[in-house]
Amino acid sequence: MLVKDGLKILGVGSYIPPKVVTNDDLSKIVDTNDEWISTRTGIRQRHFVENERNQDMAIAAAKMALEDSGIDKNLVGACIVATICPDNVTPSVACSLQKELELPTDIPCFDINAACSAFMYGLSIARGLLMQSDKKYAIVVGTEVLSRILNMEDRGTCILFGDGAGAAVVELSDNKFYSVLGSKGEEDVIRCINKDDERRYVTMNGSDVFKFAVLTVPKVLKELSDKSGVTFDEIDAFVLHQANKRIIEAVAKKCKQDMSKFFINLDKYGNTSSASIPIALTEMKQNGLIKPGMKMLCVGFGAGLTWGGVYLEW
């Protein structure tokens, strides 16, 4: 029997912590204002955890994705969690998820770190693992409590990020699936390093990240279009990492595509790193924006500097 080598998303889910932090709220903490943040980034608010742990959000998002997919969880063959801020060094968030959801024990469960590109990496890894598995499905989660690693005195970074989790249940399929993954081995542009006796914070050179994204994302989209043989005009929806509206607008312009094909929800959540694309997919599905057979290009980019994109058919 030939193994199917495409990948299909069967169900999606998300968890957004209830606490909203508006741009006005931030302007009481740092020297900033709603006008600056919204015109430079498109972000109007973000959500921060209060008591939720990373794993609580991951579990809630994964439960919703399992329910949405309607699958038997005993047939899950891999559980992959993308995160840069796990609750513990070990055990992984994925193992906590496995325990809470009572997933099978004879399957790989692990976390990955490819920053904001990691959900895209996770989908590709899931496909590879399922091709060697006797089980049908995989769960891939992107989950971040970035508020834990923000310097609330640095207006250049603290205004950009938010917390949340998104998840997908996938299976091998005849639907076409192509991925493009990469990394530049760049250590300085965005970082959050361990320092003795100091809290860890994200630091970033914003304009370098901006230039990297505007250069890299169109290249990844073009590579995916070439691999799949599907032109940009034939793509129904572009779902890019929700970092900055101006980045998405610049990509749309370079690809000569109308902005209406690019989903945007960063105004509500800010940049939730690895969670941003699965949160976007969940919201699109909830709002009836995803139809069976739709052709989609998704691209994430972030620290590392990493990038990851997929062509998928719903």
Site for ligand COA in 249-278 (CB under 6 A): 271
Q: What's the closest the beta carbon of residue 141 comes to ligand COA, in angstroms?
A: 18
Q: Of residues 4, 19, 22, 36, which one binds ligand COA by CB under 6 A?
A: 36
User: Which residue in 4, 53, 210, 254 binds ligand COA (CB under 6 A)?
Assistant: 210
Q: How far is the CB of 160 from ligand COA (least distance, A)?
A: 6
Nearer to ligand COA, 57 or 217 (CB): 217
Does residue 46 bind ligand COA (CB under 6 A)?
no
Catalytic annotation present for 241: yes
Catalytic annotation present for 54: no
Query: How many angstroms separate the CA atoms of 110 and 108, rounded?
Result: 7
Q: Decide if residue 40 touches ligand COA (CB under 6 A).
A: yes
Q: Is 156 in the site for ligand COA (CB under 6 A)?
A: yes
Q: What single string gives the DSSP state of each residue in the chain?
A: -PPP-EEEEEEEEEE--S-EEEHHHHHTTSS--HHHHHHHH---EEE--SS--HHHHHHHHHHHHHHHHT--GGGEEEEEEE-SS-SSSSS-HHHHHHHHHT--SSS-EEEE--GGGHHHHHHHHHHHHHTT-SS-EEEEEEEE-GGGG--TT-TTTTTTB--EEEEEEEEEESS-EEEEEEE----SSEE----TTS----EE-HHHHHHHHHHHHHHHHHHHHHHHT--GGG-SEEEE-SS-HHHHHHHHHHTT--GGGB---HHHH-B-GGGHHHHHHHHHHHTT---TT-EEEEEEEETTTEEEEEEEE-
Q: Is 23 in the site for ligand COA (CB under 6 A)?
A: no
Q: Does the footprint of ligand COA cover residue 155 (CB under 6 A)?
A: yes
* Cβ distance to ligand COA smaller for residue 58 or 305: 305
Q: Does 209 bind ligand COA (CB under 6 A)?
A: yes
Query: Of the two residues 13 and 302, which places its CB atom closer to ligand COA in the complex?
Result: 302
Tell me whether residue 116 is one of the annotated catalytic residues: yes
Neighbours of 310 (CB within 10 A): 27
Tell me if 114 contacts ligand COA by CB under 6 A: no
Choose which of 41, 69, 124, 147 interacts with ligand COA (CB under 6 A): 41
Among 1-9, 36-44, 45-53, 82-90, the segment contacting ligand COA (CB under 6 A): 36-44
Shortest separation between residue 252's beta carbon and ligand COA, angstroms: 16
Structure tokens at 271: 């940049």
Site for ligand COA, rule CB under 6 A: 32, 36-37, 40-41, 116, 155-156, 159-160, 204, 206-207, 209-210, 243-244, 271, 302
Catalytic residues: 116, 241, 271
